[in-house]
Amino acid sequence: MLDITLLGSGGSMPMPHRFLSSLLISYKGRKILIDCGEGTQVAMRKMNTGFKNIDIICITHLHGDHVFGLPGLISTMRNSERTEKIVIVGPEGTRGVLRDLLSPITYMPFELDIIENPKTPLEIIKSSVGLQFHEYHESENQEIIFSTLALEHSSPCLGYSFYLKRKPKFSVEKAELNKVPMEIWGRLQKGETVVYDSVVYEPHMVLGEKRRGIKVSFVSDTRPTEAIPDFIRDSDLFICEGTYGDDMDSEKAQRNRHMTFKEAAMLAKDGEVRELLLTHFSPSMDKPEMYRQNAAEIFADVIIGYDGYMKTISFKDE
């Protein structure tokens, strides 16, 4: 189960009713933050999400409306006596920009582990010290598979995908067929390989067919690209920029390397996602809901985001 909170739904500049780009994913009491625009801390206070348990911060790109909230947030986390490492993922150049942004913070009681432009999937596992990245390898112990995609913007930009695995059902029939001692069923179900009475027992000896997990994808500040539909395919929730709602702004969207509602909806349709959440609205678009139909006529299950929008995504019953 994942909890999603849209902290800021604006792009370019903050508005009285709209903070800048930021989204929080909560998983087993820990948190992943995507982008940290100006106002993110205030949004967290208003929405009572907490911030001390943020382990991973994903930055789509290094424009100010996506990163200018970082110095304040990191400083507040420092003052909250946090000591656990924070991982920051971003495009090429992230390390240098963060060095400059965070230079006023003279004392840091926790490590900042910066990962630039990861090109291969990673896995995220909850440990005693929070959410940790590991090199990807296929196993039953994986929790979240993390992937990135290079996007098309005016500066290097990444899209993010999170796939929360679901463990297969336990099969009493397989356990009995493989003569697995009942005493170790629970450990095998958790993905452990167990040596019992000098015999090696593996998880596949008690597990049934694989089950579909939960997928959440985040794409912002980009033109549509051919690679996006496959990247977001089968997402339970596709969070996408909708900088311009009006089709008449198509030329402006092309010039500024952004998208219209209709273009985002076409990606959602092509990627066969379940729901589309639009965000990153232009300051000139005061009421994005007025343009919902431009997306809905292409893809029906569209949500117009707003600051404070929350959603819980659970495993589907089979």
Catalytic residue set: 65
Tokens of 243: 């900088």
Amino acid at 31: K
Rounded Cα–Cα distance for residues 104 and 36 (Å):
18
DSSP string for residues in 218-280 = EE-S----TTHHHHHTT-SEEEEE--B-SGGGHHHHHHHT--BHHHHHHHHHHTT-S-EEEE-
Residue with tokens 């911030």: 51
Rounded Cα–Cα distance for residues 249 and 259 (Å):
9
Binding residues for Zn(2+): 61, 63, 65-66, 153, 221, 280
CA distances from 279 to 6, 10, 151 (A): 9, 7, 17
Ranges of H-type helices in the chain:
40-47, 64-67, 70-79, 94-101, 172-177, 185-189, 228-232, 250-256, 261-270, 292-296
- Helices 70-79 and 94-101: angle between axes, nearest 10 degrees: 60
Rounded Cα–Cα distance for residues 243 and 142 (Å):
35
Tokens of 33: 């933050």
Rounded Cα–Cα distance for residues 288 and 277 (Å):
12
Rounded Cα–Cα distance for residues 300 and 269 (Å):
9
Task: For residue 292, give the nearest of 236, 240, 242 by alpha carbon.
Answer: 242
Binding residues: 61, 63, 65-66, 153, 221, 280
